[in-house]
């Protein structure tokens, strides 16, 4: 990680090395913090822009609400503070990390009246899964760890504690020689990766698991007639890049379906890719040592990737409302 000069800490810009907390900070012990991952892009002579900053600020506040963490800042204040932090550090392009966490005070599971702190850091961060991954794709394995059930942890909150599930899957994949892991939900359907959403392409149709996956079950009514029953599992985090690609794909004329799919459907897909703030749009070359399509980015993936980078760099005015412009 490349250090920058300042971190925004509870409303003040402090030197990077002075942004410190007590070792008995509640969130260090119990994981009660929420965060966002945001990217700012250098748009050349158009200045710089932060991608979907408004939506990220809203999700941070909503995640905190889900966890009963009372952030003492509004969405608008978080939005402005992200821009202020980028400008203070003279960053034309950066990864931005807002974090709200329960601080030092009472120890024990119940945080009581412990203070809530908010920080925003930014630093230079290139391709999350490697510079070659955006073109050649990555090798993926199916994790032995299932994605958390929504009645176990609040899976719609981007909470630090939830990511222990992701850490276990990521470590397992890396130690087995893979780049990333794909995780199944507790019904055995494809869910998402450790920090990315997943898409597949079949016969030109783009598919991604819904935020609430639905499996059809069979039951019978009192008269013996067969009925279908929806068994819902909503363990997929509502990715902001995911939502953007769903809209972008449809605007480009593709059929984009939000439907559950199985691991074997993933194996035989024509194309597959991950998406997320860090991963952007990264092709999947293989899953469990089974080559996906041609083994590198397919035509639909390349098209979406090209158009996505046009959007984030301000080269498609149709999506200007997705960008928060700023200058240094």
Query: Where exactly are the structural domains of the chain?
Result: 6-123, 133-312
Which residues are designated catalytic? 158
- The single residue listed with the structure tokens 């995911």 is 242
CATH of domain 6-123: 3.30.470.10
What does the pLDDT read at residue 1? Answer: 86
Q: What is the pLDDT of residue 61?
A: 97
- Please tell me the predicted confidence (pLDDT) of residue 217: 39
Instruction: Tell me the C-alpha to C-alpha distance, in Å, between residue 171 and each of 117, 184, 189, 222, 263.
Output: 29, 16, 21, 49, 21
Q: What is the pLDDT of residue 17?
A: 97
Buried b (16+ CB within 10 A) or exposed e, 229-256: eeeebbbbbebbbbbbbbebbeeeebeb
Length of the chain, in residues: 328
Task: Give residue 124's pLDDT.
Answer: 96
| DSSP H or E stretch at residue 113 | none
What is the structure's pLDDT at 233? 55
Tokens of residue 87, six digits: 């400008």
CA distance 96 to 122: 4
Q: Using CA atoms, how far apart are residues 90 and 81, in angstroms rounded to an integer?
A: 14
- Whose CA is closest to 217, among 198, 193, 189, 196? 189
What integer pLDDT is reported at residue 184 of this predicted model? Answer: 96
Which residues in 69-137 belong to E strands, given as ranges?
A: 94-102, 116-123
Beta strands 271-276; 190-193: pairing state: unpaired
- Classify residue 87 as exposed, middle or buried by CB count within 10 Å of its CB (0-12, 13-18, 19+): middle
**Strand pairing partners for 202?**
205
d(CA 116, CA 118): 7
Q: Please list the alpha-helical segments (H only) found in the chain.
A: 26-30, 53-66, 75-88, 133-136, 163-175, 240-251, 263-267, 299-312
pLDDT beneath 70, residues of the chain: 213-235, 237
- CATH assignment of 133-312? 3.20.10.10
Distant-in-sequence contacts of 112-116, Cβ < 8 A, 24+ apart: 114/26, 116/64, 116/69, 116/70, 116/71, 116/72
pLDDT of the residue at 218: 38
Confidence (pTM): 0.91
């Amino acid at each position: 990680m490349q250090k920058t000069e300042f971190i925004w800490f509870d409303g003040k810009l402090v030197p990077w090395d002075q942004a410190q907390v007590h070792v008995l900070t509640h969130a260090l012990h119990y994981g009660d913090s929420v965060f966002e991952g945001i990217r700012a892009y250098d748009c050349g002579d158009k200045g710089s822009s932060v991608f979907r900053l408004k939506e990220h600020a809203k999700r941070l506040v909503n995640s905190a609400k889900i966890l009963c963490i009372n952030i003492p800042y509004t969405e608008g204040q978080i939005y402005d503070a992200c821009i202020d932090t980028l400008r203070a550090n003279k960053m034309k392009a950066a990864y931005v990390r807002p974090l709200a966490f329960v601080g030092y005070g009472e120890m024990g599971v119940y945080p009581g009246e412990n203070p809530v702190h908010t920080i925003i850091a930014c630093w230079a961060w290139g391709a999350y899964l490697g510079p070659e991954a955006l073109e050649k794709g990555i090798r993926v394995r199916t994790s032995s760890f299932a994605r958390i059930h929504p009645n176990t942890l609040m899976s719609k909150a981007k909470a630090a504690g939830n990511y222990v599930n992701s850490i276990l899957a990521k470590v397992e994949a890396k130690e087995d020689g893979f780049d990333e892991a794909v995780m199944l939900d507790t019904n055995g359907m494809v869910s998402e990766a450790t920090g990315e959403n997943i898409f597949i392409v079949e016969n030109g149709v783009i598919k991604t698991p819904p935020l609430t996956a639905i499996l059809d079950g069979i039951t019978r009514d009192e008269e013996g007639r067969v009925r279908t029953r929806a068994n819902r599992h909503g363990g997929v985090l509502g990715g902001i890049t995911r939502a953007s690609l769903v809209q972008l794909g449809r605007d480009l004329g593709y059929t984009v379906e939000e439907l559950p799919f199985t691991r074997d459907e993933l194996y035989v897909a024509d194309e597959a890719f991950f998406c997320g703030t860090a991963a952007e749009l990264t092709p999947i070359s293989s899953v469990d040592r089974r080559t996906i399509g041609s083994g590198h980015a397919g035509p639909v993936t390349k098209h979406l990737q090209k158009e996505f980078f046009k959007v984030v760099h301000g080269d498609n005015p149709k999506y200007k409302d997705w960008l928060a412009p700023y200058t240094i």
